[in-house]
Amino acid sequence: MNIPQHVAIILDGNGRWAKSKGMPRNYGHVRGAKNLEKICRDAYDIGIKYLTVYLFSTENWKRSREEVDGLMKLFRSYTKTCIKTARENNMKVRVLGDPTALADDLQESLKELVESSKNNTGLNFNLAINYGSRDEITRAARKLAKDCAAGKVNPDTIDESLFNSYLDTNDIPDPDLMIRTSGELRLSNYLLWQLAYTEFYFTDVLWPDFNKKELIKAVSYTHLT
């Protein structure tokens, strides 16, 4: 079995999982967060070097106020837990997306998480929070345009490699495999530039039920060479 270097996951199905248990949607998000801790360990155990997960999209602000508030509360708790987990498991954590729309205290916690884990040498764990690929590409184009206007970049030198250096994932290899749980067959504005040559794997399994066995199953279906 060829192990992909970089796996990206859309963690979908928390709400439906909770509904099937007769519980509120935010209960599903809590269970999904706990499952993510397990999958991080599982991914590293089988040899995956980079794991990127879609926690909260730029479109998720359109959800109910109750659900968004619940997610932000969960992120605060998860970030603090992740600082400890990263230290114990030697994980290097990076944040993708635009954090400026998040509350100040959450921004500070994310900065602490990234800073405290920057020298770790285990799993490279990337959290996409307030992330949207179109937003990422737009922000990159804006920064590049400013550098061109300032004379720092010659427009004639712009190529894929240069543009890639302005993206949130500038020094991260593109995913080899993208997994989406819960049966949805769409990308939901996730890593559109980075997934250009990535293999896709869709499963009906809801995220809280996705485990090491399912991860290995997804990896075994890839055709990496």
- φ, ψ of residue 93 in degrees (nearest 5): -105, 140
Annotated active-site residue 135? The verdict is no
Q: How far apart are CA 197 and CA 174, in angstroms?
A: 8
- The residues that bridge with 126 in the sheet, in sequence order, are 52, 94
Catalytic residue among 12, 42, 168, 176: 12
- φ, ψ of residue 56 in degrees (nearest 5): -155, 120
Annotated active-site residue 12? The verdict is yes
Catalytic residue among 2, 60, 105, 119: 60
Q: Where are the alpha helices (DSSP H) in 46-176?
A: 65-89, 104-117, 133-149, 160-164
- The residues that bridge with 180 in the sheet, in sequence order, are 10, 202
Nearest to 166 by CA among 153, 151, 176: 153
Active-site amino acid positions: 12, 60
